């Protein structure tokens, strides 16, 4: 019987260790060969990216739908991978309004985020993390290029985003001291002890309450058991060596005007996290403030330019920034496509959502969102256009992505069923 190498097989010699690359003999095992290993070679991932100041849709959406669409200015940098992405027009989240406030609902679809009594719901990445997060060292990564976070827990609490590449690199790849590792395990064990105590106390309460309360307590205990399982998984990962990468720790870029450097560095960290299978669920909210971006031809603040009011000069400067944004995104796609993982590329294995919560940033409109779907074993190479009165919710695309991850779901947020026209390959 042919032996199968594990993905995290290490070559060791003296004080030096190096992770083996993906080999054909590894195709029978999951890339994360440690706690939670599923034993499958087909490793599915999801990446969601939000451009907080919108994307000028006249330069993004082709005028015709289908596979013979003409190349628009923003799609031009992506053309080397034309058959690996789909540009989608006409989508939105029903009842999600409030201009910039809709950023909170980009991955949740929760209604009316601008209202004072707004309560968010779970984001699609965290929905998936509850079910598959234990398979990797990090259940998910919430990242930011300087703003907030796209990720929310089941109770609607925002998960803080990591915005410093240096800290993210250390988290992913640098081993702590023995004392730090012991402290981490001790904190995990303390959490398990608390869960044991809460579980025992809750069972005591259950004997003294009625049927309806017992149903509520049963739901609570289910959540406790799930948390216990995640703590056990975390304890196992804490004893595993971190992957080794051929890259020096990055230096954070503090100059907000260096948009190219900031986004390029964040995309590099995302690529490394995917390549090493450190996580399978990543969210990123991109750059976008009122800084004057350091690009030739731009001499006004980015936020001011997004409110262009159809001023040709402002649109021209805005297009310089957003085309650079698409170029950097294209570089990430190309890097993922260049790396093989068994019979597929990392891009094939990763369902990517690139878009914005703003359909028209100049008027703070939250309909007809700019959306690009890439990778993920879907049939791409098209402009998928929906008319506003027949437009499915953006949640349908998220259902398609959850199914790509192997989850048996047909509904998420307002989405019921997968997105028509985006078929698995």
Please give, one letter per residue, the 3-state secondary structure of 92-154.
ECCCCCCHHHHHHHCCCCCCCCCCCCCCCCCCHHHHHHHHHHHHCCCCCEEEECCCCCCCECC
**Of residues 216 and 421, more confidently modeled:** 421
Handedness of CA 183, 189, 192, 193 (dihedral sign): negative
pLDDT band at 79 (very low <50, low <70, confident <90, very high): very high
- Residue 27, pLDDT > 70, answer no
Q: What is the pLDDT of residues 61-70, one digit of tens each?
A: 999 999 999 9
The label of the residue with tokens 């720790």 reads 249
Q: How far apart are the first and last CA of the chain?
A: 32
- Residue 176, pLDDT > 80, answer no
Measured at the CA of 74, the angle between CA 71 and CA 78, to 5 degrees, comes to 70
Average pLDDT, integer, range 120-130 = 96
Least confident of 189-193, 245-249, 382-386, 411-415: 189-193
Each domain of the chain, given as residue ranges in start order, spans 42-175+247-405, 177-240
Least confident of 93-102, 239-248, 370-379: 239-248
Least confident of 28-37, 76-85, 257-266, 288-297: 28-37
- Residue 91, pLDDT > 80, answer yes
pLDDT band at 348 (very low <50, low <70, confident <90, very high): very high
pLDDT band at 415 (very low <50, low <70, confident <90, very high): very high
- Residue 307, pLDDT > 60, answer yes
For residue 74, the model assigns a pLDDT of 98
pLDDT band at 37 (very low <50, low <70, confident <90, very high): very low
For residue 200, the model assigns a pLDDT of 65
Average pLDDT, integer, range 40-52 = 90
**Of residues 6 and 390, more confidently modeled:** 390
For residue 196, the model assigns a pLDDT of 63
For residue 10, the model assigns a pLDDT of 43
Q: Which fold has domain 42-175+247-405?
A: Alkaline Phosphatase, subunit A (3.40.720)
- Residue 34, pLDDT > 60, answer no
Q: Which two tokens stand for residue 118?
A: 């707004």
pLDDT band at 405 (very low <50, low <70, confident <90, very high): very high
For residue 219, the model assigns a pLDDT of 60
**Of residues 4 and 113, more confidently modeled:** 113
Render the burial of 329-357: b for 16+ CB within 10 Å, e for the rest. bbbbbebbbebebbebbbbbbbbbbbbbb
Taking all residues of the chain, what is their mean pLDDT, rounded to a whole number? 85
């Amino acid at each position: 019987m042919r032996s199968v190498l594990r993905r995290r097989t290490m070559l060791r010699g003296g004080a030096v260790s190096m992770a083996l690359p993906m080999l054909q003999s590894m195709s029978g095992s999951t890339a994360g060969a440690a706690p939670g290993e599923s034993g499958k070679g087909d490793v599915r991932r999801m990446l969601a990216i939000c451009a907080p100041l919108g994307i000028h849709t006249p330069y993004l959406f082709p005028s015709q739908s289908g596979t013979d669409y003409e190349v628009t200015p923003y799609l031009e940098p992506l053309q080397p991978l034309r058959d690996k992405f789909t540009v989608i027009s006409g989508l939105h989240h029903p009842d999600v309004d409030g201009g910039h406030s809709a950023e909170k609902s980009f991955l949740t679809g929760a209604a009316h985020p601008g209202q004072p009594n707004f309560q968010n719901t779970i984001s699609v990445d965290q929905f998936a993390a509850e079910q598959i997060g234990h398979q990797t060292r990090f259940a998910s990564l919430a990242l930011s290029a300087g703003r907030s976070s796209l990720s929310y827990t089941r109770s609607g609490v925002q998960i803080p985003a990591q915005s410093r590449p240096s800290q993210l690199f250390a988290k992913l790849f640098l081993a702590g001291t023995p004392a730090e590792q012991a402290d981490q395990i001790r904190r995990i064990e303390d959490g398990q002890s608390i869960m044991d105590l809460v579980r025992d106390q809750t069972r005591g309460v259950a004997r003294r309450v009625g049927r309806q309360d017992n149903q509520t307590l049963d739901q609570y205990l289910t959540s406790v058991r799930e948390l216990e399982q995640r703590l056990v998984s975390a304890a196992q990962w804490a004893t595993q060596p971190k992957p080794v990468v051929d890259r020096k720790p990055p230096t954070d870029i503090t100059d907000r005007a260096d948009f190219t450097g900031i986004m390029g560095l964040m995309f590099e960290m995302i690529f490394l996290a995917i390549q090493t299978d450190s996580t399978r669920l990543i969210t990123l909210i991109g750059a976008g403030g009122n800084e004057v971006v350091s690009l030739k031809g731009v001499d006004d603040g980015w936020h001011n330019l997004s409110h262009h009011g159809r001023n040709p000069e402002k649109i021209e400067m805005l297009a310089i920034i957003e085309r650079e944004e698409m170029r950097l995104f294209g570089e990430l796609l190309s890097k993922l496509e260049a790396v093989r993982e068994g019979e597929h590329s990392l891009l094939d294995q990763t369902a990517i959502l690139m878009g914005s919560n703003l359909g028209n940033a100049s008027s703070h409109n939250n309909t007809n969102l700019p959306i690009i779907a890439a990778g993920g074993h879907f049939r791409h190479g098209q402009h998928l256009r929906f008319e506003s009165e027949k437009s499915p919710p953006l949640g349908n695309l998220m259902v398609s992505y959850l199914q790509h991850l192997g989850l048996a779901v047909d509904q998420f947020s307002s989405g019921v069923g997968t997105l028509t026209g985006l078929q698995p390959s």
